[in-house]
A and B are shown apart, each in its own frame.
Chain A
Amino acid sequence: MMRRLRWPLLFVALAAAVVAGLAVGPVAVSPGEVLRALLGDGDPQTIAIVRDLRLARVCLAIVIGAGLGMSGAALQGTLRNPLAEPYLLGVSGGAAVGAVLAVVAGIAGALALPVAAFAGAAVAVLLVLLIARAANGRADPRVLLMAGVVVGAFANAAIMVLLAGAGEGTVRNALWWMMGSVAGAEWSALSWLAAYAAGAGLALVVVARDIDLLALGDDAAAGLGVPVAAATRRIYLLAALLAAVTVAGAGLVGFVGLVVPAMARGLGMRRARETLLASALLGAALVVAADVVARTARAPTELPLGAVTALVGVPFFLLRLRRAV
């Protein structure tokens, strides 16, 4: 019964979160009005609020959540580790260095900041791959994880050095970015992010069978026809770049990549392809819902989105941990 209902359940959860994201705010709009406004019907002011102000924000949250969820699901399977998540692999640190550099240099415009963040993340990912390759010439999951942690630690130190001499406004800007937010959503940037994330996500779905086999261990996967080192590197790169896109779009939104795949498995998703797709839906629903909380919990002040997702994620994770022990 649960098995048959889980996919409809995921879609309903996402739809409910989206409706809430469009309805809730300083001007409350009823779900019925939301639907009519989406179809271009009703009060022009309501249409403007729903379509221009809130829809872009909700769509960005969907892209961020789906991207982080898929990235985490792919990494956890491939690296055989339920604790693997995009931010552990140096992606977040590298992106943050790129963004902070842009902020400190005073070029943090609407376009420059995401580009700088993405470039920083890409450099960090390549650095991790180079370290892992130099360490043992193979794509050993443990070495990849350790290299990611080390690059992340180095990035954190670099950020502190960069911010030590910066002015108060710069520090505040950088800090806000590092706490994550989808408040800056706008359609032009969003369409690029969505296209890129969809491409990387689809590529992960294509290699999902390799993820299934890699989750058995290197030798077993090799015996089943997977070119282990090349496949591990490919999936790592796709997952890391997918996470980098989300970081470029919304800063650091923690815990989603870690918690969402665990939730998907909790729903009984076993094979990589269904885990990836379920993680996309769940991640999207979670981030859209978290953004509603971030906007409304202490309105008119906005809470940082990354803090809200962590506040939700930590208790869930502790619960899982208790059941696992």
Chain B
Amino acid sequence: MISVSGAVVRYPGAEANALDGASFEARPGQVTALVGPNGSGKSTVVRALIGQVPLTAGAMRVGAFDVASTDRRALARSLAVVTQREEPAFPLSVRDYVMLGRYPHHGAWSALGAADVAAAEAAVDRAGAAALLPRRTDELSGGEWQRVRLARALAQGGEALVLDEPGTFLDVAHEMSAFELLDALARDGRTVLLVSHQLNLVARFAQHIVLLHRGRVVASGAPTDVMRGDVLEPVYDWPLVVARDPAVGAPVLIPLKRR
């Protein structure tokens, strides 16, 4: 469970709050999608969850932990994050990279052992990245790299998983398989919080959508409650209609031409 209550974040020198009293919950067993226009505060939620920006007011909790007061390493054992972009400064073998996910489970001295190797291998299998193990991180395609990063996050082994734009750089097939994997992970009981611009995909895979606008939650609920023209049009400030996907019946957003 990830819960955000009354969260306020203001970046130094900014005119407005990046998060302005946002409250929502992401429950275990569900895929929760955090959507909204550029600058609505989606990535700020992620950065506040990992302690990279301080909260001015309000609170964020992951399970029983208060994000502001919990030791970062202890938090990393409960919450794994796949950030928007990540590039190792120096290439690593995929095996070594996935093992980095086990670091939060160890202090400076305790050695990584058989349990860590087993957790990493299970994670790699789950993410469909087993064939990539002998490769190096700088030799992977965008889709392979994304799968390897997900494997690293799964190796971390927390109950909550946060992904910031996991579909970026992925083609249709890779994107669909990534979303199907997230769906399966949620069914296993994990809390999956997904930051995404892909409203139509999110409408098919998420059980819960949270719509952010100017740092506030303006709509929250099942996809059919949030994916409505009268809700989305003022937020995105663009004419659009919401239709039904003829194949699966999910709501589909269709942006119109302005003229």
Q: Which residues of A contact B12 (CB under 8 A)?
A: 136-137
Within 8 A of B (CB), among A51-109: 76-77, 80-82
Cα A206 to Cα B107 in complex, Å, equals: 9
Report yes or no: B108 in contact with A223, Cβ–Cβ below 8 A. no
Report yes or no: B104 in contact with A225, Cβ–Cβ below 8 A. yes
- With contact pairs A209-B103, A217-B87 given, residues A222 and B50 touching in the complex (Cβ less than 8 Å): yes
- With contact pairs A217-B87, A218-B52 given, residues A223 and B81 touching in the complex (Cβ less than 8 Å): yes
Report yes or no: B96 in contact with A271, Cβ–Cβ below 8 A. yes
Q: Which residue in B73, B86, B89, B156 is a CB contact (below 8 Å) of A77?
A: B89
Q: Which residues of B contact A220 (CB under 8 A)?
A: 81, 83, 86
Minimum Cβ distance to chain B for residue A240 (Å): 19
Within 8 A of A (CB), among B75-109: 75-77, 79-93, 96, 100-101, 103-104, 106, 108-109
Report yes or no: B100 in contact with A270, Cβ–Cβ below 8 A. no
Question: For the complex, is A213 an interface residue (Cβ under 8 Å from B)?
Answer: yes
- With contact pairs A137-B12, A223-B81 given, residues A213 and B103 touching in the complex (Cβ less than 8 Å): yes
Minimum Cβ distance to chain A for residue B153 (Å): 8
Minimum Cβ distance to chain A for residue B235 (Å): 26
Interface hub of A76, A220, A226 (most chain B Cβ within 10 A): A220
Total of A-B residue pairs, C-beta within 8 Å: 83
Report yes or no: B76 in contact with A223, Cβ–Cβ below 8 A. yes
Report yes or no: A270 in contact with B108, Cβ–Cβ below 8 A. no
Which residue of chain A has the shortest Cβ distance to B107 in the bound complex? Answer: A209
Question: For the complex, is A28 an interface residue (Cβ under 8 Å from B)?
Answer: no
Which residue of chain A has the shortest Cβ distance to B106 in the bound complex? Answer: A209
Report yes or no: A213 in contact with B100, Cβ–Cβ below 8 A. yes
Q: Which residues of A contact B103 (CB under 8 A)?
A: 209, 212-213, 224-225
Q: Which residues of B contact A206 (CB under 8 A)?
A: 108-109
Question: For the complex, is B72 an interface residue (Cβ under 8 Å from A)?
Answer: yes
Interface hub of B80, B83, B92 (most chain A Cβ within 10 A): B83
Report yes or no: A270 in contact with B52, Cβ–Cβ below 8 A. no
Q: Which residues of B contact A265 (CB under 8 A)?
A: 90
Q: Which residues of A contact B108 (CB under 8 A)?
A: 206-207, 209
Minimum Cβ distance to chain A for residue B234 (Å): 31
Question: For the complex, is A119 an interface residue (Cβ under 8 Å from B)?
Answer: no
Q: Which residue in A76, A81, A227 is a CB contact (below 8 Å) of B72?
A: A227
Report yes or no: A226 in contact with B72, Cβ–Cβ below 8 A. yes
Report yes or no: B52 in contact with A80, Cβ–Cβ below 8 A. no
Report yes or no: A215 in contact with B90, Cβ–Cβ below 8 A. yes
Question: For the complex, is B61 an interface residue (Cβ under 8 Å from A)?
Answer: no
Question: For the complex, is A228 an interface residue (Cβ under 8 Å from B)?
Answer: yes
Cα A226 to Cα B77 in complex, Å, equals: 12
Question: For the complex, is A41 an interface residue (Cβ under 8 Å from B)?
Answer: no
How many B residues are at the interface, by size bracket?
35 or more
Question: For the complex, is B51 an interface residue (Cβ under 8 Å from A)?
Answer: yes
Report yes or no: A219 in contact with B51, Cβ–Cβ below 8 A. no
Minimum Cβ distance to chain A for residue B211 (Å): 24
- With contact pairs A206-B108, A216-B100, A271-B96 given, residues A222 and B51 touching in the complex (Cβ less than 8 Å): yes
Contact with B along A119-161 (1 / 0, CB 8 A): 0000000000000000011000000000000000000000000
Question: For the complex, is B47 an interface residue (Cβ under 8 Å from A)?
Answer: yes
Minimum Cβ distance to chain B for residue A99 (Å): 33
Q: Which residues of B contact A224 (CB under 8 A)?
A: 76, 100-101, 103-104, 156
Q: Which residues of B contact A219 (CB under 8 A)?
A: 46-47, 50, 52, 81, 83-84, 86
Minimum Cβ distance to chain B for residue A133 (Å): 13
Cα A216 to Cα B145 in complex, Å, equals: 13
Which residue of chain A has the shortest Cβ distance to B46 in the bound complex? Answer: A219
Cα A81 to Cα B87 in complex, Å, equals: 12
Cα A212 to Cα B156 in complex, Å, equals: 15
Report yes or no: B92 in contact with A270, Cβ–Cβ below 8 A. yes
Report yes or no: A223 in contact with B50, Cβ–Cβ below 8 A. yes
Minimum Cβ distance to chain B for residue A7 (Å): 17
Which residue of chain B has the shortest Cβ distance to A269 in the bound complex? Answer: B90
Q: Which residues of A contact B81 (CB under 8 A)?
A: 219-220, 222-223
- With contact pairs A213-B100, A213-B103, A224-B100 given, residues A82 and B90 touching in the complex (Cβ less than 8 Å): yes
Cα A77 to Cα B86 in complex, Å, equals: 14
Contact with A along B2-22 (1 / 0, CB 8 A): 000000000010000000000
Cα A210 to Cα B19 in complex, Å, equals: 29
Report yes or no: A225 in contact with B88, Cβ–Cβ below 8 A. no
Which residue of chain A has the shortest Cβ distance to B85 in the bound complex? Answer: A217
Q: Which residue in B51, B73, B83, B109 is a CB contact (below 8 Å) of A217?
A: B83
Q: Which residues of B contact A225 (CB under 8 A)?
A: 72-77, 103-104
Minimum Cβ distance to chain A for residue B9 (Å): 15
Q: Which residues of B contact A77 (CB under 8 A)?
A: 89-90
Which residue of chain B has the shortest Cβ distance to A230 in the bound complex? Answer: B72
> What 10 pairs between A and B have smallest CB-CB spacing?
A225-B76, A223-B81, A225-B73, A80-B89, A225-B104, A222-B50, A219-B83, A215-B89, A220-B86, A206-B108
5 pairs across A/B with beta carbons < 8 Å?
A: A137-B12, A216-B100, A222-B72, A222-B81, A223-B76
In the complex, given contacts A220-B86, A227-B72, what are 17 additional A-B residue pairs having Cβ atoms less than 8 angstroms apart?
A: A81-B89, A212-B100, A215-B90, A216-B88, A219-B50, A219-B52, A220-B83, A222-B50, A222-B51, A222-B72, A223-B80, A223-B81, A223-B82, A224-B104, A224-B156, A225-B77, A270-B93
